[in-house]
Chain A
Amino acid sequence: MTSSVDAHRLRELLAAGAQLVEVLPEAEFHEEHIPGAINIPLKQLDASTAQLLDPARAVVVYCWDGL
């Protein structure tokens, strides 16, 4: 079950080594993103692109505002 986190908890998770993934389209990622994030657009999120992530570590995903 996914846990929702706020900005303060996000910072704690990142400090503890979590991976951060922006799932918005590539253009929006290049325009501006949270430092340390990688971009895997939702439309491209599959078993292949997920290999960019370490399954043994926490992953935090974000978009613009959850919608």
Chain B
Amino acid sequence: MSPRAACRLEALGFTEVYDYVTGKADWLARAWPTDSDEPRPRRAADLLRHDVATADLHERIADVLPRVHASPYGFALVTSRGGVLLGRLRRATLDGEPAATAEQVMEPGPSTIRPDTEPAALARRMRERKLTTAVVTDPDGVLLGIVTLADLDQREP
């Protein structure tokens, strides 16, 4: 629809026309603010937790482990310097690997969801897959946080 609108504006004499092709779907998937004249639909972004432990790709496990042990979630997420999600470090696999780097022992490419996911549907999917947490990234792969099934159940009975 927007390519046709852009073409129409050019035909009407506008000389500097841009098309944000990925549109509102992309904007919402980044959890960027919106304006609304009506109650906004609930989204996973409303339940986002930002207290997940993170690690740099080249960080030693000995340095990461205390953060993982202190984390209520039992894992850390490995990110690039730009915040892009690269892998997951599970507590159970880290003991006995103090000299390894996060890159060497991480599980690469963890599954993610977008922040505009509908909470009830997300809770169903997590239950089906026996998951207690879901990792949330934006369309560029940047880590935004996590959502827990407990929070979904509490807020979306």
Contacts and interface: CB of A to CB of B under 8 A. Distances in A.
Task: Say whether A associates with B.
Answer: yes
Interface of A: 1-7, 9-10, 13, 18, 21-24, 30-35, 37, 40, 42, 45-47, 50, 53, 55, 57-67
Contacts of A40: 5
Contacts, number: 137
Nearest to A20: B20
Contacts of B17: 2-3, 58-61
A2 to B, nearest CB: 4
Given A2-B10, A42-B8, A66-B23, 6 more contacts: A10-B18, A32-B38, A63-B1, A64-B24, A66-B3, A67-B1
B27 A7 contact: yes
A48 B136 CA distance: 43
Chain B contact-residue range equals 35 or more
A66 B1 contact: yes
Contacts of A5: 18-21
Nearest to B28: A32
B155 to A, nearest CB: 20
Interface of B: 1-10, 12-28, 30, 32-38, 40-41, 139
Contact of B36 (A9, A21, A30, A59): A30
Given A4-B19, A34-B34, A64 B1 contact: yes
A60 B1 contact: no
B38 A2 contact: no
A42 B1 contact: yes
A32 B18 contact: no
B46 to A, nearest CB: 14
Contacts of B37: 30-31
Nearest to B30: A7
A58 to B, nearest CB: 4
B24 A3 contact: no
Contacts of A34: 24, 27, 32, 34-35
